[in-house]
Amino acid sequence: MALYSEKVMDHFRNPRNVGVIENADGIGEVGNAKCGDIMKMYLKIDNDIITDVKFETFGCGSAIASSSMATEMIKGKPLSEAMQLTNQAVAEALDGLPAHKIHCSVLAEEAIKSAIDDYNARKKAE
């Protein structure tokens, strides 16, 4: 038995949407280095649609896989839909995570919400 599902290992080995969006419309960063996980999400938003998303993650295999999967699940989606993304949905899409790694999927959910919040705050300030 491997530690992680094939899906987790695939997203860990070949993470999707890795990197930075230079002129992002929303940026969210959650976690802290003390606990060993930091996720940073960059969103490009057009007409309330997430047209592009990138991530950077400092963390374990499941943290990297959760970020990767979460970006895939919101790319091209309306903001309202992205706001509904739950950590359970991320974990399920990865064919499950070990019990002590569930917090990685929670971080992915929080990172996306934080990036959307940042976008909304910026819009409000305009």
Report the side by side order of strands in the sheet with 49-58: 26-32, 37-46, 49-58
Q: Cα 52 from chain centroid? A: 12
For residue 48, the minimal CB distance to other proteins (Å) is 26
Residue 126 to residue 121: CA distance in whole angstroms = 9
50, 64, 73, 104: the active-site residue = 104
Nearer Cβ to other proteins (22/126) = 22
For residue 97, the minimal CB distance to other proteins (Å) is 12
For residue 45, the minimal CB distance to other proteins (Å) is 20
Nearer Cβ to other proteins (19/76) = 19
Catalytic (active-site) positions:
35, 104
